[in-house]
A = this chain, B = another copy of it.
Amino acid sequence: MNGAQSLVATLRASGIDTCLANPGTSEMHFVAALDQSAGLRCVLGLQENVVTGMADGYWRIAGRPAATLLHCGPGLANGLANLHNARRAHSGIVNIVGDQATWHRPHDPPLTADTEGLARTVSGWVKTSMTAADVGRDAAAAVQAARSAGGQIATLILPSDASWDDGGVVAQPLAPSPGLPPDALAIDTAAKALRSGAPTLLLLAGQAVRAHGQQLAWRIAHATGAHLTADYLAPCVERGRGRLQLERVPYSTDLAIERLARFRHIVLVGAKAPVGFFAYPGKPSTQFPADAQLHVLARPDQDAIAALRALAEALHAPEAAMPDPGPRPQAASGAPTPEKLAQTVAALMPDDAIVSDESVSYGRGFYQHTHAAPPHDWLHLVGGAIGAGLPVATGAAIAAGGRRRVISLQADGSAMYTLQSLWTQAREGLPCTTVLLNNRKYAILQGEYRGVGATPGPTALRMLDLGSPDLDWVRLAEGMGVEAARATTMEQCADLMSRSFGRTGPFLIDLAV
């Protein structure tokens, strides 16, 4: 058994069932081993940031890591931006990076790069397997690391001789470290703040914005009058009927400061203290009042569910029925607006859908119009590196085994970074509906530019504008095998959306906004 064969068998034994791949020469033995071991679904991405973004989406829906297969340092580099996003989302991923043979690397052939240095910028765990005998043991440790501490990036670098040499040994799975238990003192302190009567916010992220966490948080809020808000940076919010009508901390620093101004206590449940996405001249970094007290109930690596349960029990908070979101919205008509799009999505989405939201500035008001939709999961860009939306949607669809519709609400500028995702959606026949928000500009940057306090001149405008030439998303999608159509009214959009939900494969709606 060679190293590559021991790797595939160990990944399977450790519960990895999906490999998202953009292989090169140094991975050929791994690719060969795939045909000798059943049970590992392989999905090809045509650019590495598609591959790593798919792995992020896979974790968020499956709750367990996928493997990626990448080629040398530059292949890893191409996937780093979505690994950055995945790290911020606490997604567990096992990267397998094929690299130069140990004895060839000293000759510095062209594709040689600082693969470990690149990996360290995003990974919680990095190892290079130097012999075939190490590979199985290292692979088991990589899966363990990916599943520990609430989800981490683990990167296993595989010199090609460690792949092809004999001496591979299949390793037994290693148990991941579960989320750390909550601190008793943190629970006492939070309970005291909640009993004080002073305005208190529970800021929720991670497991705390999944359905079970919301139920516990709602018990606490109902018993104490505390306010509940989701972190701006929640990777996956379970939403719709039967879940809380949570809002997120606004992106805008001014709005966030205004929204948080009244709180004297902020209890962080899997969330970090709210700070601005960016700094602005003359504005503070932090968005909470200077005299508010911050209490960490659970860090992202701690068990937020256990912490919320302990807090609810400390407060003797009784069970409480989730508040009703009111009637389901109707599909809208007329010229597209963010509100109408959100209403229409809420009106038409099938049960148990997944929304991948990279609408950037366009979608900041989507939440308020979708609370009364059927139950669904809403995935956000949490690391800020645009180009995650389409890959995350693709990976989410793979994780759901084709059984849940995935709806991408996708800005045009961001979509261009990883448009190759559409090809993988077509090849795998994934149930993905992309609503491409085609405004022909980097709208967020035009907003940020105004934040600078200047009127953009011709050069600046040209840097913020995606027109001339206009991107034709129908042709781009069709060029990658995805059926597509253009909509300029909400009626057309609703019609296309409904029809797409009845299909098994992908569809793209180029929505003029």
**A291 contacts B by Cβ under 8 Å:** no
Measured between beta carbons, the chain B residues less than 8 angstroms from A73 are: 84, 121
Chain B nearest CB, measured from A481 CB (Å): 3
**A49 contacts B by Cβ under 8 Å:** yes
Given A458-B35, A481-B470, are A80 and B74 also a contact pair (CB < 8 Å)? Answer: yes
Contact of A420 among B275, B286, B416, B454 (CB under 8 A): B416
Q: Kindly specify which of A108-116, A261-269, A312-320 makes contact with the partner chain.
A: A108-116
Q: Kindly specify which of A145-153, A214-222, A364-372, A382-390 makes contact with the partner chain.
A: A382-390
Distance, CA A101 to CA B280, complexed state (A): 8
- Whether the Cβ atoms of A478 and B472 lie closer than 8 Å is yes
- Whether the Cβ atoms of B100 and A278 lie closer than 8 Å is yes
Distance, CA A78 to CA B384, complexed state (A): 13
- Whether the Cβ atoms of B47 and A416 lie closer than 8 Å is yes
**Copies of this chain present:** 2
**A118 contacts B by Cβ under 8 Å:** yes
Chain B nearest CB, measured from A283 CB (Å): 10
**A184 contacts B by Cβ under 8 Å:** no
Chain B nearest CB, measured from A304 CB (Å): 19
Measured between beta carbons, the chain B residues less than 8 angstroms from A46 are: 413, 416-417, 466
Chain B nearest CB, measured from A273 CB (Å): 8
Given A277-B109, A417-B47, are A478 and B475 also a contact pair (CB < 8 Å)? Answer: yes
Distance, CA A456 to CA B423, complexed state (A): 23
- 8 Å CB interface, A52-104 against B: 72-75, 77-78, 80-81, 84-85, 88, 100-101, 103-104
- Whether the Cβ atoms of B448 and A278 lie closer than 8 Å is no
**A160 contacts B by Cβ under 8 Å:** yes
**A393 contacts B by Cβ under 8 Å:** no
Given A34-B459, A121-B117, A233-B110, are A479 and B481 also a contact pair (CB < 8 Å)? Answer: no
Interface membership of chain A positions 274-289, coded 1 if the CB is closer than 8 angstroms to chain B and 0 otherwise? 0111110100011000
**A452 contacts B by Cβ under 8 Å:** yes
Measured between beta carbons, the chain B residues less than 8 angstroms from A454 are: 32
- Whether the Cβ atoms of B107 and A285 lie closer than 8 Å is yes
Interface membership of chain A positions 439-479, coded 1 if the CB is closer than 8 angstroms to chain B and 0 otherwise? 00000110011011010111110111010111111111011
**A331 contacts B by Cβ under 8 Å:** no
**A501 contacts B by Cβ under 8 Å:** no
Measured between beta carbons, the chain B residues less than 8 angstroms from A466 are: 46
- Whether the Cβ atoms of B88 and A110 lie closer than 8 Å is yes
Measured between beta carbons, the chain B residues less than 8 angstroms from A49 are: 78
- Whether the Cβ atoms of B460 and A471 lie closer than 8 Å is no
Distance, CA A404 to CA B371, complexed state (A): 58
- 8 Å CB interface, A6-58 against B: 21, 23-26, 28-29, 31-32, 34-36, 42, 44, 46-47, 49
**A164 contacts B by Cβ under 8 Å:** yes
- Whether the Cβ atoms of B445 and A28 lie closer than 8 Å is yes
**Residue with the greatest number of chain B CB neighbours at <10 A, chosen from A35, A383, A423, A474:** A35
- Whether the Cβ atoms of A469 and B423 lie closer than 8 Å is yes
Closest to A450 in B: B28
Measured between beta carbons, the chain B residues less than 8 angstroms from A275 are: 104, 107-109
**A192 contacts B by Cβ under 8 Å:** no
- Whether the Cβ atoms of B160 and A32 lie closer than 8 Å is no
Interface membership of chain A positions 107-136, coded 1 if the CB is closer than 8 angstroms to chain B and 0 otherwise? 111110110011011100000000000000
> Other than the known A416-B423, A475-B479, what 14 A-B pairs have Cβ atoms closer than 8 Å?
A34-B460, A35-B460, A44-B462, A46-B417, A46-B466, A72-B384, A74-B84, A74-B385, A78-B78, A100-B279, A117-B117, A470-B481, A471-B480, A476-B479
A-B pairs, top 6 by smallest CB distance, nearest first, are A469-B481, A35-B457, A74-B385, A475-B479, A104-B279, A476-B479
